[in-house]
């Protein structure tokens, strides 16, 4: 794919996806050489520091309707990141239509997980998806008091497992490859 074609296809795909910014795929984005945490913080990004290491929390506050509102000033890590779908599109391994279908299916799975989390009693609170799931999973269901909840929890766990697998196989980059 020629670079101009790739960048317009990538932008259409990202506008339909947003999963690497909205807390679905990542909980944090680590600051890299070249990032100025104080400047990024002034843009409204959630910059935090732990043990002297700066990072940005997700869901990213710079994301509005799946669009990066700080695109020209986004952190280095965001500039360097191309998910597996974009990588495959660039190399010709997949087409835009196939990547779009993958994104739509995956987003449906994400919505299913969100819906199940809400049914389990945890309202949307602006935290990353995995964080919300783990918080819920760490509180066991009281089978005697909420017998119906057992099946909902099982469905949530199974759906989340499938989603994690798909995100690893189709979107995240293998460790140490970036
Ligand atoms: S996961 Fe890939 S397609 Fe989705 S927004 Fe991120 S880079 Fe774009
Ligand atoms: S700064 Fe932009 S590219 Fe980076 S996580 Fe936020 S919305 Fe996404």
Identify whether 177 is part of a domain.
Answer: yes
pLDDT tens profile 35-51: 999 999 999 999 999 99
Identify whether 56 is part of a domain.
Answer: no
Identify whether 174 is part of a domain.
Answer: yes
Q: Whole domain around residue 125: which residue ranges?
A: 83-178
pLDDT confidence of residue 174: 81
pLDDT confidence of residue 177: 54
Identify whether 51 is part of a domain.
Answer: no
CA distance 64 to 13: 15
Q: Is 19 in the pocket of ligand 1 (CB under 6 A)?
A: yes
pLDDT tens profile 46-77: 999 999 999 999 999 999 999 999 999 999 99
Cis peptide preceding 69, ω within 30 of 0: no
DSSP element (H, E) containing 53: strand 53-57
Domain count, the chain: 1
For residue 38, CA distances in Å to 23, 45, 58, 72 come to: 22, 10, 17, 16
Mutate to test the pocket of ligand 1, among 7, 12, 13, 75 (most ligand atoms within 8 A of CB): 13
State the virtual CA torsion across 86, 126, 116, 175 in degrees, nearest 10: 40
pLDDT confidence of residue 176: 59
* pLDDT < 50 regions, the chain: 178
Ligand 2 atom nearest to CA at 56: 5
pLDDT confidence of residue 60: 98
Identify whether 78 is part of a domain.
Answer: no
- Contact of 63 with 21, CB cutoff 8 Å: yes
pLDDT confidence of residue 140: 87
Identify whether 119 is part of a domain.
Answer: yes
Sign of the CA dihedral 138, 144, 148, 151? Answer: positive
pLDDT confidence of residue 178: 46
Identify whether 43 is part of a domain.
Answer: no
For residue 148, how far is its CA from the centre of ligand 1 (angstroms)?
Answer: 36
Burial 47-71 (b: 16+ CB within 10 A, else e): beeeeeebbbbbbbbbbeeeebebe
Alpha helices for the chain (secondary structure H): 3-17, 37-42, 76-80, 84-91, 96-119, 129-137, 149-170
CA distance 105 to 125: 24
For residue 46, how far is its CA from the centre of ligand 1 (angstroms)?
Answer: 20
Identify whether 97 is part of a domain.
Answer: yes
């Amino acid at each position: 794919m020629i670079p101009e074609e790739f960048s317009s296809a990538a932008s259409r795909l990202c506008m339909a996806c947003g999963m690497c910014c909205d807390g679905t795929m990542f909980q944090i984005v680590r600051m890299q050489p070249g990032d100025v945490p104080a400047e990024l913080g002034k843009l409204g990004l959630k910059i935090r520091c732990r043990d002297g290491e700066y990072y940005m929390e997700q869901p990213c506050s710079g994301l509005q309707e799946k669009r990066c509102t700080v695109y020209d000033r986004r952190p280095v890590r965001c500039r360097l990141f191309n998910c597996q779908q974009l990588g495959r599109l660039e190399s010709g391994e997949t087409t835009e239509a196939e990547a779009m279908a993958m994104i739509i299916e995956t987003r449906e799975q994400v919505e299913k997980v969100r819906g199940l989390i809400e049914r389990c009693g945890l309202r949307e609170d602006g935290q990353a998806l995995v964080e919300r799931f783990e918080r819920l999973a760490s509180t066991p269901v009281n089978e005697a008091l909420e017998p119906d909840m057992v099946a909902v929890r099982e469905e949530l766990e199974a759906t989340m497992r499938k989603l994690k697998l798909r995100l690893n196989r189709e979107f995240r980059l293998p460790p140490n490859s970036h």
